[in-house]
Structure 1
């Protein structure tokens, strides 16, 4: 009986390769998606990875897409396997990383009946993915795929749901001409830059600060050149890679929380380019209606709950910054500029002194880890705390690609995305919290495949083992909570033996408890390695107490200087 299953599966794979721009597919074993797995393996234009865990597979695909710049597909079976991809789809939506989900489904007339492994696929991702539901086969499904590509910009998530009846492997993989997609169709690109003038015309304040979030790796040098030509103060998220650009070194400022607290330093407008930043100051802007905000990013999301005084546009960040650099700012408060540059330089010096004074603190250990990453061509920062601490101490060490999943600010799948990002690189480092690592426990399962296909890559997983959830220990609300409530908020991972976890996946283990405790010889080993940072909690607390005082003193001194 020829029900057209294999022909339909071949059509989907043809669409992925020739229209959607996909060259890599992550496949998860199942029954209902068998036709898709067979078609993917037979398609010479597609490279297949395999994974047993759909949630990790989705984030591995996100990492591959971040590193390559091209869409990556993940193929799953029916039922809750599709639901496991929701976190990755949400991340793709908010970060603008191109991800295509392809699911094998039961026949459409089974829907609503509660048959085994027959949940409702259609609409499962809601607003987070552009969907095509292939329920009939033939030209109708071909047109649905054509329509999907017209609606999907090549940013964020697309979902292709394919219904298959029994027998699953019926039909032929060959496609008739009328169901074949032309080779070489490129993903659609936003090429209309007329919005630049409209945005820049409203930026007429004399105190304008630029905030740089995540920027595509290939655009970073041109973005830095445009910002240097502009000459305004820049707060750059560590994941943007801007700290490694020499042309920006004098323009970089460190602590916008302190800047916002001083009227003499506070900007009148913040212009955000790239992804939504992780810094505390960004949340503080929710209550600062006196500060206008302009946002330019591939997604066009404003990244704030407030709407008053906020303008957001979807567009090419590199083009916008370059155009703005050529036009230049309308008016500049040069005394304010001088103060902003001064506060950035002084704060960097004082932080370096604190790191030296508290060598067993968590921030000092992170600074030591960054120093080891100087030769890395891929660095992945895997949770809010690691990003904030790296932000504080990074001083140009990270000259390679810097990656993170910060669209939805979750800890899901971080190690899986790291392994996806590092493929094809010489040296790949990831920095993660202890709970973040445990949350993606199965991610190193991919190491055998990575060793076979990414020969020569040195994998370094750095875990900050501080007892779990310590970013919540600094919440202001914690002081008013009971001991029991605090225990519920700050998770305890102190009983986890990361040496055993490393051994389970065939990784070497290195324990570092002091900034001077790095074993350079061990790091030369080509074998995958887990580096466990074990900070001293008393020194960590002392560091943060000292930093808060230093930050206040520096900002007050610069603000009050004549």
Structure 2
């Protein structure tokens, strides 16, 4: 006769335990769960892993928010977070985050529960064709075998198979192999009973040294998972995949060269510019806007025929997206363009760009005159956005009208309304190396890119596809991951009002979870003013422009903040903004900055 424990066991829960234990044993530390019926076994195992202190568990009722929260965790840590959801439209809501992860090279693991094969295509509730849904983005995907046996001691063949799947999936997500890091999709079909007792061997397997580490498993989408119903992966063809790592491309000095650092280029771009003596055009989201070679006001300088017009060679790192001037430069047929391969589609705007795995400076003499021209122009183009310093002599003057004039000047500074330039400058100055700063895909990131000086701080942005969706959720993931173990720092995200409203659901955080130190700063100009600077503004009538592009709104942000339990501030001056950004404390703050159109 079966014992109570045996009667309570279920193949679905044992399979979920094997899969999640395999991932945790190999270093996964963050699980993001969206509740659902078909995924309950995975969710309950995740809860046990959290109780044991092995993982950080984040619950989000909106799957799109869950996906972008995991994306933020992956961006910050370089390790994938696991997203668990139920079947049906829940799975489709993960697609935006998966596409961004694909194009930006961010590791991400999607575990989607599903009906078993016999319930697909027959009108069963909440059932669609989930296998292959992420085919255009996934580094590896598999429709796993339906678990059909209970494992009493953690040694069953099925448990070993799911452990191998975990190793293969993690290796693929981390880009261990020919492909870059990115999203992985494991579709997990389950039959009833959908949950049983969590097996006693869960914690032992989750803390054991795995037989196969992720680095021991090649991320080969053709590798077989025993009994898998479907396997595939690789992203959009092979255009974004280097077949094998090649030797660093030798970069001889001599040609008039600049380095362009796009999104996520990282410190390697600054190092290359320093070694070669090249001017560095670094986007604000590149992670390379620092060092003595960085160029200020690069857009105007690229338009200058005496500087931009004389460029002979460009070396590109990262994914440039923020300026037309860089796009035009990379599209010129009279400029040699060398692009270091990234995780997404290769940069090749002129049709003749040479893609390489890496570059190294070799022979030749540094063109100091060329660098000097750029640095002199850069200094002239630099913008000082600092508020005027107080007139100390005037304030201390014994002459009444001099003292009054100094006081009035100081009052004017204090009362001066914020504009976009002052807003981005305030955030930049408030951010230190232990902080994190994220830019949404709004007009403000372009203002920041045009005006801000060099500074070595951690900057994030979803520029893989540059969508406005998921900005707050991504920033929340970054905050949660960067603040574990009581690490210091604040995560700030700057975005426009439409990007804020688009991701409003990300403000909902469940009680009882760790509360991130997160400042969401909304530049509220009442609609999509980014379109005012695009071609549509010159061809559309005012009514049509407002109706379908600017999309004005009158949403009040304070009631929204209070409804979601956020501290709210409305600031209209630079002094007030500086005080809010740097005030001691923590928690979740929504800071609204009204801006003119």
Instruction: Flag whether TM exceeds 0.5 (same fold).
Output: yes
Scaled to the shorter chain, the TM-score interval is 0.7 to 0.9
Aligned to 1:200: 250
Q: How many residues align?
A: 511
Following superposition, the deviation at residue 127 of structure 1 comes to 1.8
Please give the alpha-carbon distance, in whole angstroms, between the structure 2 residues aligned to 1:187 and 1:401. Answer: 27
Q: 1:277 to 1:353 in 2, by over 3 A?
A: farther
Structure 1 residues not aligned, in runs of 5+: 538-562
How far the C-alpha of 1:128 sits from its partner, in A, is 0.4
Where does 1:379-398 land on structure 2 (aligned, <5 Å)?
379-396=437-454
Write out per-residue CA displacement over residues 29-79 of structure 1, whole angstroms, 9 at most, x where no aligned residue: 000001111222233433211110100011011111111221111100001
> Could you report, residue by residue, the CA deviation over 1:294-330 in whole angstroms, capped at 9, with x for unpaired residues?
22244163245x36221234x5xxxx46xx2xx3564
Shift of 1:170: 4.5
Q: 2:526–2:553: 8 Å Cα contact kept in structure 1?
A: yes
Q: Is the 8 A contact 1:235 1:256 kept in 2?
A: no
Confirm or deny: 8 A CA contact 1:235 1:254 kept in the other structure: no
TM-score (norm 1): 0.81
Kept in 2: contact 1:133–1:162 (CA 8 A)? yes
In structure 1, the residue matched to 2:213 is 185
CA distance in 2, matches of 1:96, 1:262: 35
Report what 1:422 is aligned to.
479
Paired with 2:535 and 2:213, the residues of 1 have a C-alpha distance of 53
On the 8 A contact 1:18/1:184 being kept in 2, the answer is no
Q: Could you tell me whether the CA contact under 8 Å between 2:34 and 2:61 is conserved in 1?
A: yes
2:247 aligned with 1:240? no
Contact 1:63/1:417 (<8 A) preserved? yes
Tell me by how many angstroms 1:288 deviates: 1.8
Which aligned pairs between 1:30-429 and structure 2 lie closer than 5 A? 30-43=36-49, 44=52, 45-129=54-138, 130-137=140-147, 138=158, 145=166, 147-148=168-169, 151-152=172-173, 153=175, 155-170=181-196, 173=199, 182=210, 185-187=213-215, 195-197=246-248, 199-200=249-250, 206-215=255-264, 220=267, 224-243=270-289, 245=290, 248-256=291-299, 258-262=301-305, 264-266=307-309, 267-285=311-329, 287-299=331-343, 301-304=345-348, 306=349, 308-313=351-356, 315=357, 320=358, 324=360, 327-328=361-362, 330=364, 332-349=366-383, 360-374=418-432, 377-396=435-454, 399-423=456-480, 424=483, 425-429=488-492
Unaligned 5+ runs, structure 2? 1-6, 148-157, 220-241, 389-412
Residue 264 of structure 1 and its aligned partner are, at CA, apart by 4.3
In the alignment, the residues of structure 2 paired with residue 249 and residue 170 of structure 1 have an alpha-carbon distance, to the nearest angstrom, of 61
TM-score, with length taken from structure 2: 0.77
Match of 1:535 in 2: 595
Distance across 1 between alignment mates of 2:85 and 2:546: 38
The 5 A counterparts of 1:476-515 are: 476-515=535-574
Deviation at 1:160, TM superposition (A): 0.8
Q: Distance in 1 between matches of 2:377 and 2:386?
A: 14
> CA–CA distance in 2 between the matches of 1:415 and 1:134?
33
2: CA distance, partners of 1:251 / 1:408: 26
Alpha-carbon shift at residue 335 of structure 1 (Å): 3.4
For residue 399 of structure 2, what is the aligned residue in structure 1?
none
Contact 2:146 2:190 in 1 (8 A): no
Change (3 A) 1:237 1:260: same
Q: Which has the higher helix share?
A: 1
- Indicate how the Cα distance of structure 1 residues 521 and 536 shifts in structure 2: closer, same or farther if over 3 A, else same: closer
Q: What CA distance in whole angstroms lies between the structure 2 residues aligned with 1:114 and 1:419?
A: 38
User: What pairs up with 1:513-524 in 2 under 5 angstroms?
Assistant: 513-518=572-577, 520=579, 523-524=582-583
CA distance change for structure 1 residues 367 and 349 in 2, over 3 Å: closer, same or farther? closer
Bigger Rg, structure 1 or 2: 2
Shift of 1:235: 0.9
Aligned residue number for residue 400 of structure 2: none
Give the 3-state SS of the residue equivalent to 1:249 in structure 2: coil
Distance in structure 1 (CA, Å) of the matches to 2:354 and 2:417: 43
Secondary structure (helix, strand or coil) at the match of 2:113 reads: strand
CA 504–493 in structure 1, closer or farther in 2 if over 3 Å, else same: farther
Which runs of structure 2 are paired with 1:428-507 in the superposition (5 Å)?
428-446=491-509, 448=511, 452-453=513-514, 458-507=517-566
Root-mean-square deviation over aligned CA pairs: 3.4
